[in-house]
Amino acid sequence: MTSDDRVLIFDTTLRDGEQSPGCSMTQPEKLRVAKALAELGVDVIEAGFPAASRGDFDAVNAVAREVQGPVIAALARCAREDIDTAARAIAPASHGRLHVFLATSAIHREFKLGMAREEIVRRAVQGVQWAREHCADVEFSPEDASRTELDFLAEVVEKVIEAGATTINIPDTVGYTVPDEFAEVFRYLRKHVRGIEKARLSVHCHDDLGLAVANSLSAVLNGARQVECTINGIGERAGNCALEEVVMALKTREAHFGVRTNVNTTRLYPTSRLVSSITGVAVPRNKAIVGENAFAHESGIHQHGMLKNAQTYEIMRPEDVGLSRTTLVLGKHSGRHAFRDRVKSLGFELDDAELNRVFEGFKALADRKKELFDGDIEALVLNAEGHESGPWTLQAFEGTLATGADSTAAITLKHSDGREVMMRGAGDGPVDAAYKAVEAATGISLQVRKFEVRALTIGEDAQGETVVYAEFGGRSYRGASVSTNIVEASVNALLEVINRIELAQRNAQRVS
């Protein structure tokens, strides 16, 4: 395989991204993200680490069955059981890849693995050979490569290529390197590794020093033809190289880098919002490419320049990343056709049943709000798609708030088995009172660890998103909901957590 002008985009949102605290996803959520990534045009989707748990295996297997287009990859340690499990998980994919890894740096050899150099080489080669028994497409990653002695790194890379690795990924696992230093790693490998032309060089950078994108671009300039990244840069610790940033850097500065990707950049913004909605991790306003302020101009001098020529202060067009310039869009008298057009222009594709469901929500919202904005439409679509129904649903609630006294709440819930339960609660504020009533009604008592509220649009009648993080039975759960009524959104977010707990209990009973 020779170097060319195309850079593959390897998305690891479902694996490395999901390992970030608070970013765990259910299987249906992983499928939604995987399908969005396929529409985005990524080349490889790393769907998970099948040996980590039965849930991970099932999610990878579902992605392999249901998502067409990209290569579906699964991560495995250089251990026979891991590799066999990963191979079974990706078996349904039309094109699967096994991604095996083993740490190579001195600090990992001594303190994590307790292995000498010779044993590392033997294990790495053996892992690749086992993977090749199942799959012709095998990627190898020397974990903590950026802190590995160059001569030893070259030895490992050469041996695994001989064993059949078709992609060699060079990770900056702890975000330690800097661009010129990392460039030298790639130059060294290309010069000293026999057979390096037989494999595609890849790069995987973490953002501990805020250099993940810069280091990845440096690697591209020095021969890397695959970049591993995540949507919104989510991932362990400070995160990973942000897909949207590296892709738009390569596109905007194509004359400098001399390479291209196959990503449909107009899908970047909706995909970013989808991942943010599912994980509950908000996109910072000043986030490059997909943040609210990325194409906003407040300075009078900037605004004057923009009116004369947008390129005075914009190096890319909002439309290039799927962001519409429209602010005020629709109202209560808008019809289904206009609504469908607006949803489509925002980057969402809905079938008739989904459109009807979201349109009903739109009409109900339009009766409560004076003005509707793009953010309102996005919230309706993402909220309608993003949450599994039942078994508990909110039928009605009412509450009181008084100075110097406990707030009260009366909650009516309906269960999928036909039960309807009404319960009252009192607490320090309307949300606390409502939560006590919900816990009493469902019989599930949990610990709320984090509670977040943010406005999704502007104005005093803006929709608010509530995100709840809670613990039950030693596991963490997250729920989210959107409404113009913050207490209603808070209750529905908690119900999403309780529904996930009840469904998990049912599944555990089936297994036992």
In this structure, the answer to whether residues 24 and 47 fall within a common structural domain is yes
- More confident site: 81 or 476: 81
Q: Region 441-459: what's the mean pLDDT?
A: 85
Q: How many domains does the chain have?
A: 4
- Phi and psi torsions of 413, nearest 5°: -120, 150
In this structure, the answer to whether residues 344 and 407 fall within a common structural domain is no
User: Residue 353 and residue 350: Cα distance in Å, rounded?
Assistant: 8
What are the Cα distances from residue 273, in Å, to 139, 347, 382? 30, 10, 8
Using the predicted structure, report yes or no on whether residue 437 has a pLDDT greater than 50.
yes
Check which CATH number belongs to the domain holding 405 and give it.
3.30.160.270
Note the pLDDT of residue 302: 43
In this structure, the answer to whether residues 216 and 260 fall within a common structural domain is yes
Q: Where are the alpha helices (DSSP H) in 48-116?
A: 54-66, 80-90, 106-108
User: Residue 302 and residue 79: Cα distance in Å, rounded?
Assistant: 57
Note the pLDDT of residue 311: 63
197-206, 239-248, 463-472: range with lowest mean pLDDT: 463-472
User: Residue 310 and residue 218: Cα distance in Å, rounded?
Assistant: 29
Shortest CA distance to 130 belongs to which of 120, 140, 144?
140
Q: Is residue 319 part of a domain?
A: yes
User: Residue 10 and residue 333: Cα distance in Å, rounded?
Assistant: 44
Note the pLDDT of residue 355: 83
In this structure, the answer to whether residues 49 and 14 fall within a common structural domain is yes
In this structure, the answer to whether residues 378 and 431 fall within a common structural domain is no
179-183, 209-213, 227-231, 409-413: range with lowest mean pLDDT: 409-413
Give the end of a domain, one of 367, 386, 405: 386
Confidence of residue 299 (pLDDT cuts 50, 70, 90): very low
Residues of the chain by 3-state class (helix, strand, coil), percent to 5 = 45, 20, 30
Which residue(s) pair with 412 in the sheet?
396, 422
Note the pLDDT of residue 6: 97
Note the pLDDT of residue 348: 75
**pLDDT tens per residue across span 205-261:** 999 999 999 999 999 999 999 999 999 999 999 999 999 999 999 999 999 999 999
**pLDDT tens per residue across span 300-309:** 444 444 445 5
User: Residue 52 and residue 55: Cα distance in Å, rounded?
Assistant: 8
User: Residue 150 and residue 153: Cα distance in Å, rounded?
Assistant: 5
Using the predicted structure, report yes or no on whether residue 330 has a pLDDT greater than 80.
no
DSSP state of 126: H
Using the predicted structure, report yes or no on whether residue 389 has a pLDDT greater than 50.
yes
Q: Is residue 66 part of a domain?
A: yes
Using the predicted structure, report yes or no on whether residue 372 has a pLDDT greater than 80.
no
In this structure, the answer to whether residues 230 and 217 fall within a common structural domain is yes
Which residue(s) pair with 505 in the sheet?
none
Q: Please, are residues 247 and 213 in contact by the beta-carbon 8 Å criterion? A: no
In this structure, the answer to whether residues 417 and 455 fall within a common structural domain is yes
Q: Region 337-341: what's the mean pLDDT?
A: 79
Note the pLDDT of residue 314: 72
- Torsion angle, alpha carbons of 274, 279, 280, 282, to 10: -60
Q: Is residue 27 part of a domain?
A: yes
Confidence of residue 460 (pLDDT cuts 50, 70, 90): low
In this structure, the answer to whether residues 103 and 196 fall within a common structural domain is yes
Confidence of residue 456 (pLDDT cuts 50, 70, 90): confident
Give percent above pLDDT 90 in the chain. Answer: 60
CA angle 289, 467, 350 (to 5 degrees): 60
Note the pLDDT of residue 479: 84
In this structure, the answer to whether residues 132 and 121 fall within a common structural domain is yes
- More confident site: 339 or 396: 396
Look over the chain and give the mean of its residue pLDDT values, rounded to a whole number. Answer: 88
**pLDDT tens per residue across span 33-43:** 999 999 999 99
- More confident site: 88 or 300: 88
Using the predicted structure, report yes or no on whether residue 358 has a pLDDT greater than 90.
no
Note the pLDDT of residue 332: 67
The 10 Å Cβ neighbour count of residue 195 is 11
Q: Is residue 156 part of a domain?
A: yes
Shortest CA distance to 220 belongs to which of 191, 192, 261?
261
Q: Is residue 287 part of a domain?
A: no
In this structure, the answer to whether residues 202 and 298 fall within a common structural domain is no
pTM comes to 0.81
Confidence of residue 371 (pLDDT cuts 50, 70, 90): low
Which residue(s) pair with 201 in the sheet?
168
121-135, 195-209, 483-497: range with lowest mean pLDDT: 483-497
In this structure, the answer to whether residues 255 and 346 fall within a common structural domain is no
Q: Is residue 443 part of a domain?
A: yes
What's the token pair of residue 339? 């609504």
Q: Region 316-336: what's the mean pLDDT?
A: 71
Which residue(s) pair with 138 in the sheet?
98
CA 168 from chain center: how many Å? 24
CA atoms within 13 A on the CB side of 397: 29
Using the predicted structure, report yes or no on whether residue 19 has a pLDDT greater than 60.
yes
Give the end of a domain, one of 302, 323, 344: 323
Note the pLDDT of residue 508: 67
Catalogue the long-range contacts made by 130-136 (C-beta closer than 8 Å, 24 or more residues apart): 130/78, 130/80, 130/83, 130/84, 131/76, 131/83, 131/87, 131/98, 131/100, 131/164, 132/163, 132/164, 134/83, 134/84, 134/87, 134/98, 135/87, 135/90, 135/96, 135/97, 135/98, 136/166
Note the pLDDT of residue 298: 44
Using the predicted structure, report yes or no on whether residue 61 has a pLDDT greater than 70.
yes
Q: Is residue 195 part of a domain?
A: yes
Using the predicted structure, report yes or no on whether residue 139 has a pLDDT greater than 50.
yes
In this structure, the answer to whether residues 47 and 147 fall within a common structural domain is yes
Note the pLDDT of residue 300: 46
Note the pLDDT of residue 369: 66
Supply the range of the domain harboring residue 35: 8-279
CA 266 from chain center: how many Å? 17
What are the Cα distances from residue 395, in Å, to 347, 359, 414, 416? 32, 20, 6, 12
Note the pLDDT of residue 306: 41
Check which CATH number belongs to the domain holding 213 and give it.
3.20.20.70
Q: Is residue 285 part of a domain?
A: no
Using the predicted structure, report yes or no on whether residue 294 has a pLDDT greater than 60.
yes
Q: Which residues contact 58 (CB under 8 A, 6 or more apart)?
A: 27
Which range has highest mean pLDDT (171-185, 316-330, 386-400, 430-444)? Answer: 171-185
Note the pLDDT of residue 420: 93
Q: Please, are residues 467 and 452 in contact by the beta-carbon 8 Å criterion? A: yes
